[in-house]
């Protein structure tokens, strides 16, 4: 006969197994404060803190949960997910959650953590491993960071994390610092950006107290320097840093860096420093896939006590692909607008809201677009169609192709044909070049924003 397990024990055992198949941060996000409240006629009733988590568990983790439960108790047939009546949300129904009273103010959403920075270490306690969502795009960087925070200096020294903007580098770096500070009060931790480091160094030269600066940085057990690409081309600072690095390394201190590129790709970096960076563990963070974007968005929404429908979250996760910070920004503007309007926005309103800042709402035709671009760059329209490789023509032409594709949804072959019968691969090249350049080149981004504004004006 099967032993009758009490509910708590059953759930505890199941969680041990579930935890193996789910990353640590996701596990903490979705399974905390869940309980089994009843196990009757083969149905297990699981209480969750809110509808949001309830939906997520039943949508995404149902299979793992039922498998784990059946391993322990094979007679279990199914699971019912409930919303807790004892938790803060007191059995709110979905409709109630949608009421505007549930949307906290900006300050409430941000919470005090957002503004609080520890003076001694420069760390912001809001960046933690347990609110960091792990997916295939960042799991290696996450694992390496966790390993370093469990055991400084025995592994991976230095740790170098690189990847594009808004992908979680700072979050990971600070999580390492925060975790180490929590677990070992004696460890002296310092977090700063390379820019701040450079400024301090320059000030110390001006104040003629470089020796104080040098002393200060040699005493840390864990030094975390964010965005090291800023050292590029600054040889004097690189030299100073090189000595500090060596001295820390020799005294078994842990050093952690981030950069937007790998050491090889950072220009103007002294060879000896580059080889130090490469001498430890290098890991990159790539762009998050859809599933991870959705999980991050859900957990951010929950942190802010905002519970939009799955449809809305799926929409946001599908349109914002490259940057987690931008995704958070979109979520904040949805919350802000919902507050103003007194209700959670509809999907259509959200589509409009997210489009407004980036793309013209109404469309114009190709000729109008060409006219706007040639006016903007002060060149004759006909040049855009000619087969010239002059720089001052190539760029506006590529921007025209980009905007036709991005904002007017024109097909590549159509655009090629419009521009003097060019091959569609030329158009794809132009589109991709501008898409990439925008991310790096602020001036280009501003130009394109201005062109879009001009388009909006004539299309209204
Ligand atoms: P980077 O330093 O790479 O530019 P950040 O670490 O500043 O990026 O991340 C941008 C924002 O996205 C931050 O608010 C951060 O908390 C959030 N974020 C990034 N990655 C994750 C993740 N995996 N899980 C949860 N939040 C994340
Ligand atoms: Mg950063």
Q: Is the pLDDT of residue 245 over 80?
A: yes
| pLDDT score recorded for residue 2 | 44
| pLDDT score recorded for residue 449 | 85
| pLDDT score recorded for residue 132 | 95
Band of residue 242 on the pLDDT scale cut at 50, 70, 90: very high
Alpha-carbon separation of residue 20 from 10, 11, 14, 16, 244 (angstroms): 16, 14, 10, 7, 41
| pLDDT score recorded for residue 20 | 80
Residues 95-118, mean pLDDT to the nearest whole number = 47
Residues 62-84, mean pLDDT to the nearest whole number = 90
| pLDDT score recorded for residue 48 | 87
Neighbour tally for 405: CB within 10 Å: 21
Domain ranges of the chain: 2-83, 115-285, 297-355, 366-459
Residue nearest to atom 21 of ligand 1 (CA): 168
Average pLDDT, the chain: 85
Each residue of 326-371: pLDDT tens digit? Answer: 999 899 889 888 888 888 889 999 998 887 555 444 456 778 888 8
Measured in angstroms, how far is the CA atom of residue 128 from the centroid of ligand 1? Answer: 11
Q: Does domain 366-459 have CATH number 1.10.1750.10?
A: yes
CATH topology of domain 115-285: Rossmann fold (3.40.50)
Measured in angstroms, how far is the CA atom of residue 246 from the centroid of ligand 1? Answer: 30
Instruction: Give 17 or 270, the one with higher predicted confidence.
Output: 270
| pLDDT score recorded for residue 424 | 87
Each residue of 174-208: pLDDT tens digit? Answer: 999 999 999 998 999 999 999 999 999 999 999 99
Q: Does domain 297-355 have CATH number 2.40.30.20?
A: no
Q: Is the pLDDT of residue 397 over 90?
A: yes
CA atoms of 240 and 247, how far apart (whole Å): 11
Q: Indicate which atom in ligand 1 lies nearest the CA of residue 172.
A: 6
Measured in angstroms, how far is the CA atom of residue 166 from the centroid of ligand 1? Answer: 6
| pLDDT score recorded for residue 31 | 86
Q: Indicate which atom in ligand 1 lies nearest the CA of residue 260.
A: 3
CA atoms of 141 and 134, how far apart (whole Å): 9
| pLDDT score recorded for residue 100 | 36
Return the best residue to mutate from 134, 284, 325 for the ligand 1 pocket (most ligand atoms within 8 A of CB): 325
Measured in angstroms, how far is the CA atom of residue 131 from the centroid of ligand 1? Answer: 10
Residues 108-129, mean pLDDT to the nearest whole number = 74
Q: Is the pLDDT of residue 401 over 80?
A: yes
Q: Is the pLDDT of residue 106 over 80?
A: no
Each residue of 21-64: pLDDT tens digit? Answer: 776 667 777 788 889 999 988 999 999 887 777 877 888 889 99
Alpha-carbon separation of residue 114 from 12, 32, 110, 225 (angstroms): 33, 22, 6, 20
The CATH class given to the 2-83 domain equals alpha beta
Task: Provide the whole-model pTM.
Answer: 0.61
| pLDDT score recorded for residue 339 | 81
- State what percent of residues in the chain have pLDDT above 90: 53
Residue nearest to atom 20 of ligand 1 (CA): 168
| pLDDT score recorded for residue 59 | 82
């Amino acid at each position: 006969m099967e032993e009758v397990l009490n509910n708590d024990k059953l759930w505890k055992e199941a969680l041990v197994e579930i935890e193996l198949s789910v990353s640590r941060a996701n596990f903490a996000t979705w399974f905390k404060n869940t309980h089994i409240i009843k196990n009757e006629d083969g149905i297990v009733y699981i209480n969750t803190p809110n509808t949001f988590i309830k939906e997520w568990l039943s949508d995404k983790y149902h299979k793992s949960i039922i498998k784990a439960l059946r391993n322990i108790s094979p007679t279990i047939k199914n699971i019912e997910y409930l919303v807790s009546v004892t938790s803060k949300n007191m059995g709110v129904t979905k409709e109630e959650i949608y009421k505007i009273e549930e949307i906290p103010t900006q300050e409430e959403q941000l919470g005090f953590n957002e503004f609080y920075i520890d003076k001694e270490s420069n760390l912001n306690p809001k960046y933690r491993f347990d609110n960091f969502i792990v997916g295939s795009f960042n799991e290696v960087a996450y694992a390496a960071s966790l390993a370093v925070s469990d055991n400084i200096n025995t592994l991976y020294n230095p740790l170098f994390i690189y990847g594009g903007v808004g992908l979680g580098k700072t979050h990971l770096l600070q999580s390492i610092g925060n975790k180490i500070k929590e677990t070992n009060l004696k460890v002296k931790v310092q977090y700063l950006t390379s820019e701040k480091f450079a400024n301090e160094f320059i000030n110390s030269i001006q104040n003629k107290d470089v020796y104080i600066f040098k002393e200060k940085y040699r005493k840390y057990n864990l030094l975390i320097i964010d965005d090291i690409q800023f050292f590029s081309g600054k040889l004097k600072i690189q030299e100073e840093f090189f000595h500090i690095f060596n001295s820390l390394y020799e005294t078994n201190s842990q050093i952690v860096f981030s950069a937007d590129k790998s050491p090889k790709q950072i220009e103007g970096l002294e060879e000896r420093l580059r080889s130090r960076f490469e001498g430890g563990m290098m890991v990159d963070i790539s762009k998050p896939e859809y599933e991870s974007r959705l999980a991050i968005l859900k957990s951010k929404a929950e942190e802010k006590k905002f519970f939009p429908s799955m449809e809305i979250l799926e929409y946001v996760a599908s349109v914002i692909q490259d940057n987690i910070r931008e995704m958070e920004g979109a979520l904040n503007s949805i919350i802000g607008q919902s507050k103003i309007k007194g209700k959670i926005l509809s999907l259509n309103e959200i589509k409009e809201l997210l489009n407004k800042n980036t793309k013209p709402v109404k469309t114009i035709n190709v000729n109008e677009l060409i006219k706007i671009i040639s006016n903007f760059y002060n060149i004759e329209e006909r040049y855009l169609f000619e087969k010239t490789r002059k720089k001052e023509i190539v760029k506006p032409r590529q921007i025209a192709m980009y905007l036709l594709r991005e904002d007017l949804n024109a097909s590549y072959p159509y655009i090629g044909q419009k521009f003097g019968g060019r091959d569609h691969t030329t158009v794809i090249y132009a589109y991709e070049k501008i898409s990439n350049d925008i991310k790096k080149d602020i001036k280009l981004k501003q130009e394109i924003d201005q062109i879009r504004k001009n388009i909006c004006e004539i299309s209204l």
